[in-house]
């Protein structure tokens, strides 16, 4: 939870770097302009959250998900962000999948070494099934987002 | 650039988002009606905020007055908030700056008008002319 008002600020160094990267080289950004953009960014987060939450409520969901955020962007007239955001989402999912597969591989290697009891084996199979189902759901979600 | 390091993680690979997710989450959760946020929504909001910062900066610079001087100033930003429909929601937090003397003059004029209105209620037809 936000306990102090400055908890709602974004780090100035990161904001400044993003601005500098966006503008042509050598442009001077006044201190006032930096803090104004930083404040604007916080307000943007709140605005986007509130819009996304409306979409979640419409869908009778309690948890905000990726498609709510994408719908919010369109609602806020930031359609231009939708394509780069979808690309970022795909990159993020690939990254997560890579991490998951790496940890699964580790687990399997470990299991091979330790597995001697029948019970352990059957439990592992159950786990594998669950994971497969999860992956299927993820793929479905991707299709939804693409449409 | 001195701040360049912040965007890379320990391995030196560029990260998907450079804004801190924990901070973005705190801001999102400060909205009372939000109960929970999944990780993908959090990552997307952080990424969207980055795009927003880039867009606000480049838009204000292109439409601003500082192009010849190669500078981005506060008034470029407040102009953007006032003139662009997309950035309208920022108008309250990026108000236009005016000189105190100008503001006092405006206040005086406004008061003057109000007094006039009070005085000649029955002559309101003539008011429009002045």
Distance (Å, whole) CA B38 – CA B126 = 63
Whole domain around residue A46: which residue ranges?
A: 3-76
Residue B120 — pLDDT band, cuts 50, 70, 90?
low
Distance (Å, whole) CA A73 – CA A79 = 6
Cross-chain Cβ contact A66/B31 below 8 Å? no
Beta bridge partners of A29: B72
Shortest distance between the Cα of A124 and any Cα of chain B, in A, equals: 26
Cross-chain Cβ contact A66/B73 below 8 Å? no
Listed range (A65-69, A80-84, B7-11, B48-52) with the worst mean pLDDT:
B7-11
Domain presence at residue A21: yes
Q: Are A85 and A73 in contact (CB under 8 A)?
A: yes
Residue extents of the structural domains in chain B: 2-72, 98-130
B66-75: Cβ within 8 A, 24+ apart: B66/A27, B69/A28, B70/A24, B70/A26, B70/A27, B70/A28, B71/A27, B71/A28, B71/A29, B71/A30, B72/A19, B72/A23, B72/A27, B72/A28, B72/A29, B72/A30, B72/A33, B73/A30, B73/A32, B73/A33, B74/A30, B74/A32, B74/A33, B74/A36
Residue labelled with tokens 């400055």: A6
Domain presence at residue A42: yes
Distance (Å, whole) CA A84 – CA B47 = 9
Task: At B99, give phi and psi (nearest 5°).
Answer: -70, 145
Residues of chain A in contact with residue B45, where contact means CB-CB under 8 angstroms, are 45, 48-49, 52, 69
Interface of A with B in 34-73 (CB under 8 A): 36-37, 39-50, 52-53, 62-66, 68-70, 73
Q: In CATH, what class is B2-72?
A: mainly alpha
Q: Does the beta carbon of B84 lie under 8 angstroms from any beta carbon of chain A?
A: no
Query: Who has greater pLDDT, B22 or A142?
Result: B22
CATH number of the domain at A71, please.
Answer: 1.10.20.10
Query: Who has greater pLDDT, A44 or A2?
Result: A44
By C-alpha distance, which of A70, A99, A64, A63 is closest to A86? A70
**Model pLDDT for residues A25-76, shown as the tens digit of each residue:** 999 999 999 999 999 999 999 999 999 999 999 999 999 999 999 999 999 9
Number of folded domains in chain A?
A: 1
**Model pLDDT for residues B21-60, shown as the tens digit of each residue:** 999 999 999 999 999 999 999 999 999 999 999 999 999 9
Domain presence at residue A133: no
Per DSSP (E only), the strands in chain B are: 36-37, 71-72
Element (H, E) at A63: strand A63-64
Distance (Å, whole) CA A70 – CA B27 = 18
Residues of chain B in contact with residue A50, where contact means CB-CB under 8 angstroms, are 31, 33
Q: Does the beta carbon of A75 lie under 8 angstroms from any beta carbon of chain B?
A: no
pLDDT value at B20 more than 70: yes
Q: For residue B25, count CB atoms less than 10 angstroms from its CB and return exposed for 0-12, middle for 13-18, buried for 19 or more.
A: middle
């Amino acid at each position: 939870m936000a306990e102090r008002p400055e908890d709602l600020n974004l780090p100035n160094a990161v904001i400044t770097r993003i601005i500098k990267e966006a503008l042509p080289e050598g442009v001077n950004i006044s201190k006032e302009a930096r803090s104004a953009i930083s404040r604007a960014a916080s307000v943007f987060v709140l605005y986007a959250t509130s819009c996304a939450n409306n979409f979640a409520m419409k869908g009778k969901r309690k948890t905000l998900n990726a498609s709510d955020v994408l719908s919010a962007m369109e609602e806020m007239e930031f359609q231009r962000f939708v394509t780069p955001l979808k690309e970022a989402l795909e990159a993020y999912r690939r990254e997560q999948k890579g991490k998951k597969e790496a940890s699964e591989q580790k687990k399997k290697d470990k299991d091979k070494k330790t597995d001697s009891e029948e019970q352990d084996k059957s439990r592992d199979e159950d786990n594998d099934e669950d994971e497969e189902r999860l992956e299927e759901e993820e793929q479905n979600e991707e299709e939804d987002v693409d449409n | 650039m001195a701040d360049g390091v912040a965007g890379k993680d320990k391995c030196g690979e560029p990260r998907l988002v450079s804004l801190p997710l924990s901070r973005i989450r705190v801001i999102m959760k400060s909205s009372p009606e939000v109960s929970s946020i999944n990780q993908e929504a959090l990552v997307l909001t952080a990424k969207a905020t980055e795009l927003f910062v880039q867009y606000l900066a480049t838009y204000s610079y292109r439409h601003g007055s500082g192009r010849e001087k190669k500078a981005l100033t506060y008034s470029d930003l407040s102009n953007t908030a006032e003139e662009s429909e997309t950035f309208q929601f920022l108008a309250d937090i990026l108000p236009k700056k005016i000189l105190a003397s100008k503001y006092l003059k405006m206040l005086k004029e406004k008061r003057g008008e109000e007094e006039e209105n009070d005085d000649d209620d029955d002559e309101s037809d003539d008011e429009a002319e002045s």
